[in-house]
A and B are shown apart, each in its own frame.
Chain A
Amino acid sequence: DAGVIQSPRHEVTEMGQEVTLRCKPISGHNSLFWYRQTMMRGLELLIYFNNNVPIDDSGMPEDRFSAKMPNASFSTLKIQPSEPRDSAVYFCASSLEDRPYEQYFGPGTRLTVT
């Protein structure tokens, strides 16, 4: 089976531009998580969904960030406008409803904002 799929793997953009990161969770998984990883702050949970519904978005940094999950097989994380401090690796992870803590991570998207 395919694991969690993220695209793009690398994104370089200029400050002020809109960035959209995409994630396809493992088929059958009910929960989806977006994380951000930086050297300074480590791994931070941004938002997670259960059955396509956002449950906890307290980690979303500010209004420039938004996430959607229109169906069980697709989610997006959008940053608009992007800033240099948004540069990080963004991970998507998914899990089964009866094993919520056994999360399967995608390979990540490395975002660089210049």
Chain B
Amino acid sequence: GNSVTQMEGPVTLSEEAFLTINCTYTATGYPSLFWYVQYPGEGLQLLLKATKADDKGSNKGFEATYRKETTSFHLEKGSVQVSDSAVYFCALNKNQAGTALIFGKGTTLSVSS
């Protein structure tokens, strides 16, 4: 079945640093790819998505490009803020038929001022 692997954290950065969180996937067919974010004490929320190869999802300064050749969907941000401190989850659809998602283990980002 489909699966996703993301880099282990925690990732600790200073404010305004560049962020990359790696995510690779294994899937049959052409999955849709997602990044979700979980702020402390809250549920997950969708950050961005890409539904086909070479698509770039973007939101709140974060970007990720669907790379079919490397089966990757790395999350990037040019200048992080303290408010970006959260846990980030890479996800893809479980299979072609259903609507369930498979999430990675999550990567904790901590940004200090």
Shortest C-beta distance, A53 to chain B (Å), equals 12
Contact (Cβ within 8 A) A108 B43: yes
Contact (Cβ within 8 A) A101 B32: yes
- Number of B interface residues, CB 8 Å? 21
Cβ of B29 within 8 Å of any chain A Cβ, yes or no, is no
Interface Cβ pair total, 8 Å cutoff = 53
- Number of A interface residues, CB 8 Å? 22
Q: Is the interface of A mostly helix, strand, loop or mixed?
A: strand
Shortest C-beta distance, B58 to chain A (Å), equals 15
Of all chain B residues, the one with the shortest Cβ separation from A47 is B100
Contact (Cβ within 8 A) A105 B105: no
Contacts of A31 in B (CB 8 A): 99
From B94, B98, B99, B106, name the one whose CB has the most chain A CB atoms within 10 angstroms: B99
